[in-house]
Structure 1
Amino acid sequence: MLASLPLAACSDESRLVVHTATGDHTFTVEVVDTPEGRAKGLMYRQELAEDAGMLFDFKQERPVSFWMQNTFIPLDMVFIGADGVVRNVHVNARPRDPTSIPSDGPVQFVLEINGGRSKEIGLVAGDRIEHERISNEK
C-alpha cells in the first residue's frame, strides 16, 4: 500500500516569496536540484496545495524546457534568472501533454505552481522571486 507523503517528507522544503504589483505572496516549495529530482518533478501527483510549489534549481543559467507527459494537474511554470527576476511565465500547462515548454532564454530556476495561480496573484515577467537559493542582487 502506498502512503501519500506530505511535501516536507519528500525533499528539501522551504519558503519562497513572489513580489508582484498585487503584493507579496508566500509559497512553501519543495526544492529539487539533482538530475533525477528535476526529471521526476511533480509527475504522478494528484494535487498541490494552493500555497505550495516546486522550485527547480539548475545550478547555473541555461535554456531549459519542460513537458507535462506524466503530470496529472495543470501547472504554471515560472522561469527565473539567477538574479531572481522572472523571465517568462507559462500559464496552465496542460496535464499529460508531451509538448515542450521552453524558457525564453537562459534561466537558473523554474517554479511550478498550480495552474492559473500566477494570474490570480498578478505574476508577470519582471517580478522578483525571493528564496534562500536565489541571489536577488541587482
Structure 2
Amino acid sequence: MRVLHLAIAASFLAGAAAAECGEGRLELRGDWGTARFRVEIADTPQERAVGLMHREHMASSAGMLFIYEHPQRVSFWMENTLIPLDMVFMDASGTVQRIHQNAVPLDRTPIPGGNDIQYVLEVNGGMTDTLGITIGSEMRHPGVNQDIAVWPCE
C-alpha cells in the first residue's frame, strides 16, 4: 500500500512541472514538493451547496475548488457526500491556512475552515497526507486575485 501511495505521489510531482495555469488545473507547492489537480469549480451559491454530493468515486488527481467572492468564515459538512474527503482551506492569497483530513461520508458534523477563507479545495480522503501537503503551502490558480496571489499565474 505504501508503494502505491508513493507511485501516486510521484505521478503528481512529475505532472506538476509541465502544468499551465488554467481554470481546470490547480497546483499546490510547499517544502514537500508540488502537486497538480484537475478541478471542477464551485463558485456560485448553488454549486457550493451541492459540491461533491452523491458521487461514488473521484479520480486520485481530481478535486473541487470552492471559490468565494471575498474572504469569510466557512464551514462544511458531509451530508449526502459518499466518499471521504480532505479539505484544504486557503486565504485570499492562496496560502493554506487549515487542512481537515478524511472527513467522514454522510456525517452532518460541521467542519470549520476558519476565518478569512476564500478558497477550499476538496480532494480524496488521505491525499493531503500522501502528498505531504501542509499549512503554509501555496496554491496557483487563475481564480485567485493575481495581484495578491502568493504564487501567481505566469
Q: Give the TM-score category using the shorter length.
A: 0.7 to 0.9
TM-score normalized by the length of structure 1? 0.88
Q: 1:127 aligns with which of 117, 127, 137?
A: 137
Check whether the contact 2:66–2:119 (CA below 8 A) recurs between aligned residues.
Answer: yes
Aligned-partner Cα distance in 1 for 2:131–2:76: 22
The reply to whether residue 93 of structure 1 matches residue 127 of structure 2 is no
Q: 2:40 aligns with which of 30, 50, 55?
A: 30
**Aligned match of 1:71:** 81
1:94-113 equivalent positions in 2, closer than 5 A: 94-113=104-123
**Aligned match of 1:83:** 93
**Aligned match of 2:64:** 54
Runs of 4+ deviating beyond 4 Å: none
| Matched residue count | 127
Gaps in structure 2 of 5+ consecutive residues: 1-21
3-state DSSP of counterpart to 2:46: helix
3-state DSSP of counterpart to 2:68: strand
**Aligned match of 1:3:** none
**Aligned match of 1:4:** none
> What's the CA shift for 1:13?
5.6
Aligned-partner Cα distance in 1 for 2:92–2:98: 13
3-state DSSP of counterpart to 1:43: coil
Q: CA RMSD in A?
A: 1.5
- Percent identity of the aligned residues? 45
> What's the CA shift for 1:137?
4.1
Residues 68-109 of structure 1: CA deviation (Å, up to 9, x unaligned): 010000000000111010010000000000000011222001
Change (3 A) 1:110 1:23: same
Q: 2:125 aligns with which of 115, 124, 130?
A: 115
Residues 84-137 of structure 1: CA deviation (Å, up to 9, x unaligned): 100100000000000000112220010000000000111111110111111314
Question: Quick check: which one's helix share is greater?
Answer: 2
Q: 1:43 aligns with which of 35, 50, 53?
A: 53
